Amino acid sequence: MLDVTTLIARCRQGDALAWEALVRAYQGRIFGLARHYLRDPEEARDVAQEIFIRIYQRLDTFQGDAKFVPWMLSLARNCCIDRLRRNKVRTPEHSVPVEDEPHIAAEGPTVEDQVATGEKHTLLYAALENMSDTNREIILLKEIQGLKIEQIATMLAVPVGTVKSRSNRARSDLARRIRVLDPSYGV
């Protein structure tokens, strides 16, 4: 993969090839995050496109000394949460109460996605399904997307210690659920 700093600098200069390379480099990650937040694959695709448009518009605001991936994932998370809240506002007939924390899709990717990523992931998605939204989001950001605790603390606006304790509890919770589904996992 090309150097991200150079790619971003070229994008700011209006280099369309650099922008295309950046999109191709991170499309999987952005779409994966959107799929974890939203139920509908089409809506996740729409949100993923909106995320890249926002990244394109805000490239000038990205501070070069910061890491690009956390900045990008933070922006992506905000887009997903905005879409989740908008969906709740626009469907009042369902009388969905607006929660303080957004509901992250319990259902994982479709069957086709699962085949593409391997059946071993089916167990992980099944275990993630019944977790609480808070624990699932921590797993998504830390264990799946690989963000550091300090970065997650900034993103969620909570103390670092809170993120640490939540992360430990979430991992233990997920491990217990996996053991219930498949006692032979990890042996």
The binding site for another protein (CB under 8 A) comprises 16, 19-20, 23-24, 27-29, 31-33, 35-36, 45, 48-49, 52-54, 56-57, 82, 85-86, 89-90, 92, 109, 113, 116-118, 120-121, 124-125, 139, 143-146, 167-169, 171-172, 174-176, 178-179, 183, 185-187
CB of 179 to another protein, least distance (A): 6
65 vs 93 by CB, closer to another protein: 93
Give the dihedral sign, CA 149/152/154/156.
negative
2 vs 56 by CB, closer to another protein: 56
66 vs 120 by CB, closer to another protein: 120
- Cβ-Cβ contacts under 8 Å for 124 (sequence gap 6 or more): 178
CB of 14 to another protein, least distance (A): 8
| Structure tokens belonging to residue 18 | 């650099």
65 vs 99 by CB, closer to another protein: 99
In angstroms, the CA 184 to CA 186 distance is 6
**At which residue do the structure tokens 């200069």 appear?**
13
In angstroms, the CA 120 to CA 122 distance is 5
CB of 104 to another protein, least distance (A): 13
CB of 158 to another protein, least distance (A): 18
Start-to-end CA span in the chain (Å):
35
**At which residue do the structure tokens 């994982």 appear?**
108
CB of 66 to another protein, least distance (A): 20
- For 67, other C-beta atoms within 10 Å of its C-beta total 13
Task: Tell me if residue 80 falls in helix, strand or coil.
Answer: helix
151 vs 167 by CB, closer to another protein: 167
Length of the chain, in residues: 187
